[in-house]
Amino acid sequence: MKVSASPNAPKLGPMELAIIITVPVCLLSIAVMLTIWACQGRQCSYRKKKRPNAEEPLSECNLVNAGKTLKDLIYDVTASGSGSGLPLLVQRTIARTIVLQEIVGKGRFGEVWHGRWCGEDVAVKIFSSRDERSWFREAEIYQTVMLRHENILGFIAADNKDNGTWTQLWLVSEYHEQGSLYDYLNRNIVTVAGMIKLALSIASGLAHLHMEIVGTQGKPAIAHRDIKSKNILVKKCETCAIADLGLAVKHDSILNTIDIPQNPKVGTKRYMAPEMLDDTMNVNIFESFKRADIYSVGLVYWEIARRCSVGGIVEEYQLPYYDMVPSDPSIEEMRKVVCDQKFRPSIPNQWQSCEALRVMGRIMRECWYANGAARLTALRIKKTISQLCVKEDCKA
């Protein structure tokens, strides 16, 4: 049987077919364009609300600090749940919203900048990518559990930033506008009470660093290995904060191991202990590193005491051994003076007329013993200067 089309079915011409196909396509295109336009409008509106000031990208402030100051964040040991600093995401958020203001220093590692974050001052230590090991090590030490202390520089964040040409490695910390103790002593004469405050704060910071705290929220003993006046900062309240922990070593008392970093740099030659200069130091015993720190602290105390005014007499600022070695001495030059000739910085006679300077002079001598085991501990120094502080009413 043959089936044929109905004679009454309408026939569509080319024009009708074109209209049927074109109209839905046009309507669909218009709908898609309207959707895209609406989404873009929302994004622009969101960006305007989020970034009112392009020069101050501080919009994440509320996300990070919830009304807290940087000091609150730094010393809130519960922030990360471990007492080891801020969570990594918060660190990255802070680092990427800092506005650099001016360069304030240069060193072998790179540069130090003054920056602003959420209206607060911060210091940004910028390492080049070739110094990644130093950057990583310093960040690791600063984030040691329970390291936070008022006389140890407050660490805020570590991050890497790509500026388009090379990668920069950032360490963000508290900013202390007075600069290093070296800078401070070059500019200022100190009173007896001022000397005691500076010395006590250094001893307090070093005692905390050297101390092992046992427990689940404990802290390993840490030795600095590069104590000098340029690595100690002066705070607004005229007390100190120990900084630059890139060469520090930690002691694991359970395994009795020392995590000496794979870093070719050693401490500063001028401040090296005798046993380091003549290569007789036992690096397998952690106490050796703490004793070397004590020798260096004795030299820093000498720098401070020279700038103390007693009876109107004050010495000009000088580095230790300034009159015995050149400005950039070699290890051999230092070894000859310190180990062979057994010289130490001279203690002026006028110090005998002031009890505080007399005590400080005695502390220095007991820090400088050739036999490291005979030197004072940081805790003993702290206790001695604390007693001096009470006598002098220095309100340290």
Cα–Cα distance measured from residue 356 to residue 393, given in angstroms and rounded to the nearest whole number: 12
Contact residues for 250 (Cβ-Cβ < 8 A; gap 6+):
141, 144, 220, 221, 222, 258, 259
Say yes or no: 187 and 163 in one domain: no
Say yes or no: 222 and 159 in one domain: no
Identify the CATH number of the domain in which residue 208 sits: 1.10.510.10
Say yes or no: 155 and 187 in one domain: no
Residue stretches of the chain with pLDDT short of 50: 1-3, 44-58, 63, 77-82, 396
Identify the CATH number of the domain in which residue 156 sits: 3.30.200.20
Could you tell me if residue 48 is inside a domain?
no
Say yes or no: 146 and 218 in one domain: no
Say yes or no: 253 and 340 in one domain: yes
Q: What is the pLDDT of residues 219-247, one digit of tens each?
A: 999 999 999 999 999 999 999 999 999 99
Could you tell me if residue 19 is inside a domain?
no
Could you tell me if residue 214 is inside a domain?
yes
Domain membership of residue 194 as a residue range: 181-392
Tokens of 239: 């007390």
**CA-based nearest residue to 83, from 211, 174, 218:** 218
340-347 own/partner pairs: CB under 8 Å, 24+ apart: 342/370, 344/368, 345/299, 345/302, 345/320, 345/321, 347/302
Residue 68 confidence (pLDDT): 64
Say yes or no: 385 and 292 in one domain: yes
Say yes or no: 120 and 212 in one domain: no
Residue 36 confidence (pLDDT): 75
**CA-based nearest residue to 206, from 226, 236, 186, 180:** 226
Residue 55 confidence (pLDDT): 41
Say yes or no: 226 and 357 in one domain: yes
Could you tell me if residue 265 is inside a domain?
yes
Residue 45 confidence (pLDDT): 46
Domain boundary (174, 204, 234) is at 174
Domain boundary (174, 189, 214) is at 174
Could you tell me if residue 25 is inside a domain?
no
Cα–Cα distance measured from residue 174 to residue 357, given in angstroms and rounded to the nearest whole number: 31
Q: What is the pLDDT of residues 17-54, one digit of tens each?
A: 677 777 777 777 787 777 777 666 555 444 443 333 43
Q: Is 244 assigned a catalytic role?
A: no
Q: How many domains does the chain have?
A: 2
Say yes or no: 206 and 295 in one domain: yes
Binding residues for ATP: 125
Spot the catalytic one: 159, 226, 244, 293.
Answer: 226
DSSP 376: P
Residue 89 confidence (pLDDT): 63
Binding residues: 125
Say yes or no: 90 and 129 in one domain: yes
DSSP 72-95: HHHH-TTSSSSSSSS-HHHHHHHH
Could you tell me if residue 207 is inside a domain?
yes
C-beta separation of 176 from 72 below 8 A? no
C-beta separation of 213 from 146 below 8 A? yes
Could you tell me if residue 311 is inside a domain?
yes
Say yes or no: 351 and 258 in one domain: yes
Say yes or no: 129 and 185 in one domain: no
pTM of the model: 0.80
**CA-based nearest residue to 132, from 159, 172, 163:** 159
Domain boundary (144, 174, 204) is at 174
Say what the alpha-carbon torsion angle 119, 122, 128, 133 is, to the nearest 10 degrees.
Answer: -130
Count CB atoms within 10 A of the CB of residue 232.
Answer: 28
Residue 394 confidence (pLDDT): 63
Q: What is the pLDDT of residues 309-353, one digit of tens each?
A: 988 889 999 999 999 999 999 999 999 999 999 999 999 998 999
Tokens of 184: 């401070």
Cα–Cα distance measured from residue 137 to residue 249, given in angstroms and rounded to the nearest whole number: 10
Could you tell me if residue 7 is inside a domain?
no
